[in-house]
Amino acid sequence: MLTRRQTIKTSTALAAATLLPACSESEQTMSNPGQYLPTIDSLRRHDTPQWFRDARFGVFIHWGLYSIPAYAPHRSAVPADIKPGSYDQFKHNAYAEWYMNSLLFEDGPTAAYHREHYGTRTYADFAQPFNEMLEQWDPEAWARDIAASGARYLVLVTKHHDGFTLWPSSVKHPHRDNWSTRRDVVGELGEAVRAQGMKFGVYYSGGIDWSFKHRRIESFAGLMLTVPRSGSGYLDYANAHYRELIERYRPDYLWNDICYPSESAALQVAADYYNTVDNGLINDRWIALRGLLRPSAWRRPEGIDGLLPPQPPVWDVRTPEYAMFNRVLPFDWETTRGIGHSFGYNREETSEDLLSAWDIVRMLGQAACCNGNVLLNTGPRGDGSLDPLQVERLHAVGQWLEKNSACVQDTHPLALSRSEINGVAMGATRNANTVYLHLLGTPAAGHYRIELPEVPGIKAARLRHGEGAGKVTVTDGELVLDIATWPDAPTQVLELSLA
């Protein structure tokens, strides 16, 4: 696993994107020399900004043409023995934002749904109703609801795998006219989010664009074959999009997905970004698929189950998907998942398919204890509104954070001598004045002795959440618990004050 702590920050700006020629696939040169060069050694000097480490909680938004049909088969209708990455998994894809690909399985549930509700209309026909809906869209209302969750940053999908952009780009699409929104969703939402005091990041599907190349994806290997290759013009197109996003919106976070067609181009994008946006960061999904991957790309730390993308040579934060690390690791990471089983809104999902507010709070506690963040996705509906069931959960988490943010936000993790008590996972965080022991659930009532972390000056302890029945004392390097009844709370947090 690459571990690096980098220190240089810069606010050197790029020249205006409209005055810059697109970098060709064979000529990757610095668009504006700054403190960072498009080399691995130079870019590894960059450090993850402190605002990201302090935030612990962000909200992801997947919204696009796929939000009009808003369909993926409900998990109850999917065969139970499907293997991850198999033909059947892609045929019954739970991600509604993959609707365009799922349509290509003519005998699959998505194609059946499409025939029943849309007849012979194509996926491209969703562009007109989406643009018409946008005339009534209210970005300020979204920003208020997201801010009420206690999240400190938002990442918006600006272009998903279908290639449709949520901003009126000046970069001409070589294959499709008007393959974008007429309204500047990216700019307007970014302004509204920042007005609420949050950071604003942009997601871009750099590895896959079905408007350039789309053969049916039916395996993980097939997914890689869908990446547009050299000679298609796609690399120039994606490079130009990234320059436009960086220069026009100055995103606080650059979140690429899947991969990037060229390593040298990915390094160039990172250098341009670091030299333009002070205190920004990039994720880890920039791997280039041409040639052999470095052995380090496949290194997988212990303590994770689920999807972890192969790592490129340069990144600021690792992004496991529907998975979390369960230990403190020497790098920054961010788990990403939907509140339900999809990122895009899926009309088939009910309240029972969604995480509860308590589930989300436990995720925040585990992430903070293990040096990570939670990027939790909400999928807006095709009418421009946020799903009320998901907003309800976001608001409930916000109410918890309003009283308890000190336990997870603006903290760093502490190592403990043990990771569980009575079958309940345990971790620790601290700030300048307080240590927090997190029991990520509620163990049975009883007597417990927990070795204190190696922090000088611990003088007293108390149960932070609600009223319980019991006694908490600090003695001889141990925390002694005599609990008859735990408080009714998603996690049990013990607050240890420092002298």
DSSP 35: S
| CA distance linking residue 86 with residue 12, whole number of Å | 46
| Same domain flag for 369 and 424 | no
Question: Which residue shows structure tokens 């869908």?
Answer: 226
| 208, part of any domain | yes
Please name which of 1, 7, 23 lies closest in space to residue 274, comparing C-alpha atoms. Answer: 7
| 304, part of any domain | yes
| Same domain flag for 45 and 137 | yes
Q: What mean pLDDT is predicted for residues 334-347?
A: 98
Please name which of 25, 20, 21 lies closest in space to residue 233, comparing C-alpha atoms. Answer: 25
The residue range of the domain holding 346 is 17-67+88-405
| CA distance linking residue 53 with residue 368, whole number of Å | 9
Q: What number of CA atoms fall less than 13 Å from residue 38's CA on the CB side? A: 18
Q: Confidence class of residue 4 from pLDDT cuts 50, 70 and 90?
A: very low
pLDDT the model gives residue 467: 66
Q: Residue 461, by phi and psi: left (phi above 0), alpha (psi -120 to 50) or beta? A: beta
Q: Residues 461, 473: contact at Cβ < 8 Å?
A: yes
DSSP H or E stretch at residue 234: helix 234-249
| Same domain flag for 281 and 147 | yes
Q: What mean pLDDT is predicted for residues 177-184?
A: 96
| Same domain flag for 145 and 250 | yes
Helix, strand, coil content of the chain in percent (nearest 5): 30, 20, 50
**Lowest mean pLDDT: which of 206-210, 223-227, 273-277?**
223-227
**pLDDT at position 22 over 70:** no
Give residue-wise pLDDT tens across range 99-123. Answer: 999 999 999 999 999 999 999 999 9
**254 or 1: whose pLDDT is higher?**
254
Other C-beta atoms lying within 10 Å of the C-beta of residue 432: 7
pLDDT the model gives residue 31: 42
pLDDT the model gives residue 477: 85
| Same domain flag for 387 and 443 | no
Q: Confidence class of residue 132 from pLDDT cuts 50, 70 and 90?
A: very high
| Same domain flag for 361 and 480 | no
| CA distance linking residue 221 with residue 224, whole number of Å | 5
Please name which of 279, 283, 275 lies closest in space to residue 258, comparing C-alpha atoms. Answer: 283
In the chain, the N- to C-terminal Cα span, in Å, equals: 37
**377 or 293: whose pLDDT is higher?**
377
| Same domain flag for 169 and 228 | yes
**pLDDT at position 145 over 80:** yes
| Same domain flag for 326 and 263 | yes
- The predicted model scores a pTM of 0.91
Residue 70, classed as helix, strand or coil, is coil
Token pair for 399? 């109410």
How would you classify the pairing of strands 458-463 and 492-498?
antiparallel
Average pLDDT over the chain reads 90
| CA distance linking residue 327 with residue 12, whole number of Å | 37
| Same domain flag for 290 and 360 | yes
Q: What mean pLDDT is predicted for residues 262-286?
A: 97
pLDDT the model gives residue 459: 84
| 79, part of any domain | no
